[in-house]
Chains A and B, each alone.
Chain A
């Protein structure tokens, strides 16, 4: 600094303060309180729906073999909770296995497709074929090839979750900000470094979004596979309940599925909050 320092020199060393386009600083959050408060509206809506449903069934004397009342469903669940819990657990494991296999395979294929446009063009029709193949056609073949047990059901669940994850992962892996890519290249980053440090983290929001879509799909896949083989899990309960007109058990099975779906999606939301707090889509507390 020279001797004659004009008044404006004081402005020379400007510490960054909240300028006109600065965002609000972080405020401390109380997660427990806000979670509870956010749960209230849906719980309230659910309660109102259940009460209305029960009232209508009673008033219109709708027979049990057509539609059960919520009290009937609760009674069935209370009578044999172990049966529903065990079936739910079986379906859950199959669904998770399918999710892992399907999402894993999809991500691997996506990595290939993201790095090579010719390969993407070559593989995309095959991926579409996987998507539109009806489970009904494929399930018996899987049972023949992979035997009874969990394998065919996991594979069917994987089949259903494959496509949404593939599409999202390819988009995500390509969604790197070009300026960041330039910086990587100017720093002579290797392809592996670019993949590991840039593409994979950039793809995470898309991957998590695909997981949220895939969770209910994987459950449906597992249940449909069980339903076609009559071999345990929630799908078997649905099959038996349907053929004996046991609508209460049928709806109870659906409740079990809904609980599983909500729990899984909630788990993913937790993971999301942990991993993706940096993303624009995350809530600003």
Chain B
């Protein structure tokens, strides 16, 4: 069962992992006391002493209003920026070391596919960068199958719809079997129906893979549908103000969005968003 979460900001806790590994193992993602400004020391304070953790195999969403620094945190975990203060570890490694170990998969709002490559060539990219040649064909095929894009393997990005491109991006993020999947509002640019389809797709894939996921979104319903736990951040400067466990059973279905448990969770998250952050002593 999920550990109870602290409701007031900033406390670090290491939840029991549902996979049953030893509680003293390093969490898949551990963010401690991170502070960061936009654009150098004189810029706007993006994140203020934020901490969170994702256990092995846990699906954690990060929600908050625009500008609350959630993308900054995600980019710090991905090793795309170095934080001014605080630490970030992935299973005990630095983000750069984790990237070097090909432990990270990244899906952003823009699919970031290479337009001159076909879908399958795009999916093959992480393997190519890692110098893995032999099993490549089989892995790529498998990844495309998992996201339901098998028949579009030879298509180029400009021939695919937005939702299809994100599926390919998801396949690419998983083809090298990373430990951690980082997603930054990946369905933000899509229409509502496509969003729902892709949420379902993501759930299905995740059930199969059970990677540790940090999922940034500003859609509360999406966060509730997908996650084991929702971390709530305040507006800028971003602080963690609440962590809400989601007790809906797995595997999740779209119908659960109508349930009372879901509504309760949504209310709780909304309340947390409306609250001022607790005083930091």
Chain A residues packing against B (C-beta within 8 Å): 1-2, 6, 8-9, 11-16, 18-23, 25-26, 177-189, 193, 197-198, 201, 204, 276-280
Contact = CB atoms under 8 A, between A and B. Distances in A.
A14 B254 contact: no
A197 B128 contact: yes
Contacts of B80: 182, 185-186
25 contacts: A6-B253, A6-B255, A8-B255, A11-B200, A12-B204, A13-B204, A14-B197, A15-B148, A16-B164, A18-B161, A22-B161, A22-B164, A26-B159, A177-B112, A179-B109, A180-B114, A182-B112, A183-B106, A183-B108, A184-B129, A186-B78, A187-B125, A187-B126, A204-B116, A278-B157
- Closest 10 pairs between A and B when the two form their complex, measured CB to CB: A179-B112, A179-B110, A22-B161, A188-B99, A180-B112, A186-B106, A188-B100, A278-B116, A179-B108, A14-B197
A279 B104 CA distance: 29
Contact of A188 (B96, B160, B161, B201): B96
Interface centre among A14, A20, A188, A279 (most CB of B within 10 A): A188
A219 to B, nearest CB: 30
Contacts of A187: 99, 102, 104, 106, 125-126, 129-130, 176
Contact of B254 (A11, A189, A193): A11
Nearest to A177: B112
A16 B148 contact: yes
Contacts of A181: 112
Contacts of B148: 13-16
Contact of B253 (A12, A15, A189): A12
Given A8-B254, A180-B114, A189 B129 contact: yes
B161 A2 contact: no
A144 to B, nearest CB: 46
A201 B122 CA distance: 13
A186 B104 contact: yes
B201 to A, nearest CB: 7
Contacts of B159: 23, 25-26
Nearest to B97: A188
Contacts of B78: 182, 185-186
- Which size bracket describes the interface of B in this complex? 35 or more
Interface of A is mostly: loop
Contact of B113 (A180, A189, A197, A280): A180
B111 interface: yes
Contacts of A179: 108-112
B36 to A, nearest CB: 17
Contacts of B115: 278-280
A16 B152 CA distance: 9
Interface string B119-162: 00000011011100000000000000000110010001111111
Contacts of B157: 278
Interface string B196-219: 010011001000000000000000
A89 B80 CA distance: 53
Given A187-B102, A198-B114, A204-B116, 7 more contacts: A8-B253, A13-B148, A182-B106, A186-B80, A197-B129, A276-B116, A278-B115
A74 B243 CA distance: 85
B41 interface: no
Contact of B108 (A13, A20, A182): A182
A207 B110 CA distance: 25
B260 interface: no
Nearest to B159: A23
A278 B157 CA distance: 8
A5 to B, nearest CB: 9
